[in-house]
Structure 1
Amino acid sequence: MTQTEEREGIAHRLYTGKLSYDFMANRKLWFAITGGLVVLSLLVLMVRQLSLGIEFLGGTDFQAPVAVQAGTVEEIRSATDEFTVPELDAQVFSIGDSAVRIQTRSLTPQEITQTRTDIAELVGTSTDEVTYNTIGGSWGAKISRDAAVAVAVFIVLVMGLIAVYFRDWRMSVAAIIALAHDMVVTLGVYAIVGFTVTPSTLIGILTVLGYSLYDTVVVFDKVRENTKDLAETNKTYSQQANLAINQVLVRSVNTTVIGVLPVLAMFIAGVVGNSNPLKDLGLALLVGMIAGAVSSIVIATPLLAWFKERTPEMVAHRAEMEKRRARAEYRAQGHHAAGTTTTTAVADVPVAPLPRQQRRTHTSRADRKGGR
């Protein structure tokens, strides 16, 4: 590395193309890696499935006052297995340091009364201090439908926005495939760790999709800038797209790191404090932001280039580039010298002039023919 390159810095050398990683040449590798993650996530979702909260399935939510200390939540969770009502499927969370929340399956009025009594005896309070709220299955089904509608509306709006802004439907398809990767991987991680899917999780996933879309649009905008006058250059669409990725690479990494740090702090705080909303939201954001940054670089743009290289315009552009290269090689080899005979399949190659004697002979024959 020269002293000039050292002074320029890695960001400047990436931007100018002096230093770059060929994402396009290695896109099959990246497609295999990210595709493997998606397949693994889908397998986990089919085998373990997601642990849906009572907001989606319906159930009964109890709250009881108790001094929350280290280990209190685990002790109450273990004690629920010994309650009179069997198979409660209880999940216990702390509410600050003065109360706990116990969520169970849907209970009958008699089961609710008995469970309130068991909770009151466990925490050392009266039954009246144990409040409860019942969420019906129909309400949970409505929440699930609303969540699906929210994701569908988001995808439609994204595809429409990108198609209108960039005037290219291929960018919309590439962006949606990248977003699908982010969502599936995030849900797969949820299934692996066994976290409960709550409305906070849905908020986190929608936020992640927006964040991932921002990264993708930044790269696409640079691709559009680099390929604006592509016909006048000796570069392919893939080469200019690869340059665009490298130009925004440092920015994407810095933005992701800065965004992940507070999310990581929130997730750790949720785990340490056993705060379910913080854990749910933090995990969704943490996994999704990292997946989104990766997908915008190694999925969306390489996939877009793969689509574009198969259009008639790009096929014709590459053919024209081959003609230019062949003509340049022809001139460089000195084929303009007199008497040189060259056979080439490239159109528009200049023909070498005939020697003077052959020109005189050719002219005389033409004159005699004309005289006849």
Structure 2
Amino acid sequence: MSSFAKFGNELYTGRRSYDFVGKKKLWFLIAAVAIALAVLIPVAKGGFNLGIEFRGGSEFTVSNVKTTDASLGEKAVHDVVAGSVPRVANVAGTTMRIQTDKLTDDETIKIKEGLTTAYGVTDNEVTSTFVGPTWGADVTKQALIGLVVFVALATVLMALYFRTWKMSLSAIAGMLVTMFITAGVYALSDFEVTPSAIIGFLTVLSYSLYDTVVVFDKIRENTADLDSSTRRTFGEEVNLAVNQTLVRSINTMMVAILPVGAILFIGAGLLGAGTLRDLSLALFVGILIGTAATIFVAAPMYAWLRQNEPALVKQAQRVERRRADSAAKDAAAAQPAQA
């Protein structure tokens, strides 16, 4: 722990530094490739694995099952609707969920009877619900509207808070990187996209902005008196701010990701709490990507957007002249000593 504290202190004072801003082209390239893959993955897979709330259909829930064998549920559906492709999942320790396409009332009754027999439960322990395509389309529409409204409000709020569109644009860029890559990983995992997953996406976007705001506040603090300073250039001050907040970003990420990881890997993975998988995966991936996006995308992009401003160019020239003068004085002072 003491070594980590020493590491953080060295980052804060500048004795140790990682060149996040100087390697911005590399980070932008990696982000662009990751986004391209995130877009291509769902396209190659034929789209996202939408939950029944979005695509519509029938759903059966079987409680207090004696076995969690998915093939029993599949057979119960196939015996009634040949060629159907049901989705069978263990959503809790003794609860099975079977989802199908739209069924008639007669088919629903027969499948319910088949599930009762297959899993050795009573009639009251098998329930069925139906989600119509109109309702599913409405949920999809509302989810997209919610996402668009969130991004729009975040853009406006960032602009008002930072009072510069360049900071706002950089923060939103980092957030969009988080959104695309998280969605790509979600598509790759083939987890169902449910309303809980959408909530998870919106949550991690908020987390990404929160982390970015903290770093940008430090950037604003470091560059407040930049006009009269010849110690560092603007890009160097931005890089210093990222290094100074690096430990804080890592600590916040770890505190957030540990309980989410427990839900995902222990709750959903080991204990079979399937209802938590969609939410926890979105949170787990989003927190990781959101932290990285702030460090490798948002802050370097802000430095890049401002690097050619006349005032900053002149300030950088003053820094270089001061360093050249200092180097010349050091060289002159060293010559008598060598003689």
TM-score, with structure 2 as normaliser:
0.88
Gaps of 5+ in 1: 1-5, 335-372
Instruction: Give the Cα separation in 2 of the matches to 1:9 and 1:75.
Output: 56
**Residue number in structure 2 paired with 1:159:** 155
Residue 159 of structure 1 and its aligned partner are, at CA, apart by 1.1
- Match for 2:9 among 9, 12, 15? 12
**Residue number in structure 2 paired with 1:354:** none
Instruction: Give the Cα separation in 2 of the matches to 1:98 and 1:239.
Output: 57
**Residue number in structure 2 paired with 1:85:** 81
Pair 1:284 & 2:282 matched: yes
Equivalent pairs, count: 328
Gaps of 5+ in 2: 333-339
Pair 1:294 & 2:327 matched: no
Instruction: Give the Cα separation in 1 of the matches to 2:281 and 2:184.
Output: 12
Pair 1:27 & 2:56 matched: no
* Residues 66, 99 of structure 1: 8 Å contact kept: yes
- Match for 1:263 among 248, 256, 260? 260
Listed as ranges, the matches of 1:1-372 within 5 Å are 9-48=6-45, 49-69=47-67, 72-80=68-76, 82-125=78-121, 129-234=125-230, 235-268=232-265, 269-322=267-320
* 1:321–1:204 CA distance, 2 compared to 1 (3 A): same
SS of structure 2 residue aligned to 1:63: strand
Per-residue CA distance 1:94-144 (angstroms, 9 max, x = gap):
354443221111223333233223223322345565321111111111111
Per-residue CA distance 1:39-59 (angstroms, 9 max, x = gap):
111110111121000101111
Residue 316 of structure 1 and its aligned partner are, at CA, apart by 3.4
* Residues 64, 125 of structure 2: 8 Å contact kept: no
Residue 149 of structure 1 and its aligned partner are, at CA, apart by 1.2
SS of structure 2 residue aligned to 1:23: coil
* Residues 81, 87 of structure 1: 8 Å contact kept: no
Residue 82 of structure 1 and its aligned partner are, at CA, apart by 3.3
Residue 212 of structure 1 and its aligned partner are, at CA, apart by 1.1
User: How much identity, in percent, do the aligned residues show?
Assistant: 39
* 1:128–1:7 CA distance, 2 compared to 1 (3 A): closer
Instruction: Give the Cα separation in 2 of the matches to 1:287 and 1:128.
Output: 39
Instruction: Give the Cα separation in 1 of the matches to 2:162 and 2:199.
Output: 28
Greater length-normalized contact order (CA 8 Å, ≥ 6 residues apart): 2
* Residues 263, 280 of structure 2: 8 Å contact kept: yes
Residue 324 of structure 1 and its aligned partner are, at CA, apart by 5.3
**Residue number in structure 1 paired with 2:337:** none
SS of structure 2 residue aligned to 1:25: coil
**Residue number in structure 2 paired with 1:346:** none
* Residues 93, 271 of structure 2: 8 Å contact kept: no
Residue 331 of structure 1 and its aligned partner are, at CA, apart by 8.5
SS of structure 1 residue aligned to 2:245: helix
Residue 77 of structure 1 and its aligned partner are, at CA, apart by 4.6
One-letter amino acid of the structure 2 residue matched with residue 76 of structure 1: L
* 1:7–1:133 CA distance, 2 compared to 1 (3 A): closer
**Residue number in structure 2 paired with 1:364:** none
SS of structure 2 residue aligned to 1:196: coil
* 1:184–1:292 CA distance, 2 compared to 1 (3 A): same
Residue 163 of structure 1 and its aligned partner are, at CA, apart by 0.9
Give the CA RMSD over aligned residues: 2.5
Residue 274 of structure 1 and its aligned partner are, at CA, apart by 2.6
SS of structure 2 residue aligned to 1:41: helix
SS of structure 1 residue aligned to 2:215: helix
One-letter amino acid of the structure 1 residue matched with residue 295 of structure 2: I
SS of structure 1 residue aligned to 2:250: helix
* 1:22–1:92 CA distance, 2 compared to 1 (3 A): same
One-letter amino acid of the structure 2 residue matched with residue 91 of structure 1: R
Instruction: Give the Cα separation in 2 of the matches to 1:322 and 1:97.
Output: 66
Residue 184 of structure 1 and its aligned partner are, at CA, apart by 1.2
* 1:325–1:137 CA distance, 2 compared to 1 (3 A): same
**Residue number in structure 1 paired with 2:336:** none
321-330 or 188-197, which deviates more: 321-330
SS of structure 2 residue aligned to 1:51: coil
SS of structure 1 residue aligned to 2:65: coil
SS of structure 1 residue aligned to 2:272: coil
* Residues 93, 275 of structure 1: 8 Å contact kept: no
Which structure: larger Rg?
A: 1
One-letter amino acid of the structure 2 residue matched with residue 302 of structure 1: P
Instruction: Give the Cα separation in 2 of the matches to 1:80 and 1:300.
Output: 52
Residue 7 of structure 1 and its aligned partner are, at CA, apart by 11
Instruction: Give the Cα separation in 2 of the matches to 1:326 and 1:77.
Output: 77
